[in-house]
Amino acid sequence: MFLKKYNVSIEVKTPFNIASGEADGYIHKRTVRLKGEPYIPGSTIKGKVRSNFYKLTLANHIDGMCDCPVCNIFGGQGYKPSRIYVDDFVLNDTAKDEGQCREKKAPVFIKVGNAIDRYKKTAKHEALFITEMVKPAVFTGTITVYFDEDTLRYKQDLELAIKMIDSVGNGRSRGYGRVKVYLEEVT
C-alpha cells in the first residue's frame, strides 16, 4: 500500500446551497451544517471525484463484481472497500477570524425568490421561496488514498479528478457554487 495524503482547499467563488432537506421556520431550503457552521460534506466531494475519475479513465466498469480502477479505489460490490477517504470540508479558520474582526459577519445570507410557474412564466407573488446561501469562502479538508501496485498508476488521474471539481451544491447552471480546488500532496 502507498498512502498518499492531500491537503485540499476549496475556494468557493459564488454563493452556494447544499440542501439539508430540512425546512424550518420561514426558510425553505437550509444549507447543510456541521457544529452550527456551513460545510461541504466529504461524501459530496467524493461523489464528484469518482464521477470525474470515471470520465478520465474511461474505466470498463461493470455492474456487480468489478475490477475496474474506479471500483478498486472508490469501493465496489463484493468485499471491495473504499481506498479513498474524503474529509468534510470546513470553513477555513483564518478566513473566519478575519470575518469576525471585520464585522462579525455571518457566513450565510438569505436569498428570496419568487416561485415561478415555469409554464406560464408568471411569478406567484404569494409563493416566496427562501434559500439559505453560503457566502464565498475557503473550505479546507484532507483526502487520503491508499494506492496499491495497480492503482498507483492512476495517481495523476485521481489528482486531476479532484482539481476538476468546478461546482458544489444546487443551481450550477445559474452560476451558484462555482469553486476552484487546490491540492497539495503532503505524504
Min dist CB 66 to Zn ion, Å, is 3
> What sections of the chain are H helices per DSSP?
42-57, 69-74, 93-103, 155-163
Query: SS3 breakdown of the chain: % helix, strand, coil, rounded to 5?
Result: 25, 40, 35
Query: Cα–Cα distance between 87 and 106 in angstroms, integer?
Result: 23
Interface stretch with Zn ion, choices 18-26, 53-61, 132-140, 166-174 (CB under 5 A) = 53-61
4, 5, 28, 61: residue in contact with Zn ion (rule CB under 5 A): 61
State the cell numbers at 11: 475556494
* Contact flag: residue 68 with Zn ion (CB under 5 A): yes
# chain residues binding Zn ion, by CB under 5 A: 5
* Contact flag: residue 66 with Zn ion (CB under 5 A): yes
Min dist CB 69 to Zn ion, Å, is 8
Min dist CB 152 to Zn ion, Å, is 18
> What sections of 75-146 are H helices per DSSP?
93-103
Closest CB to Zn ion among residues 84, 108:
84
State the cell numbers at 178: 462555482
Angle between helices 42-57 and 155-163 (to 10 degrees): 120
18, 49, 71, 181: residue in contact with Zn ion (rule CB under 5 A): 71
One DSSP character per residue, 110-121 reads EEEEEEEETTTT
* Contact flag: residue 80 with Zn ion (CB under 5 A): no
Asked if 76 contacts 69 with a C-beta cutoff of 8 angstroms, the reply is no
Min dist CB 50 to Zn ion, Å, is 10
Closest CB to Zn ion among residues 91, 158:
158
Min dist CB 84 to Zn ion, Å, is 14
Closest CB to Zn ion among residues 72, 131:
72
Residues that bind Zn ion (CB under 5 A): 61, 66, 68, 70-71
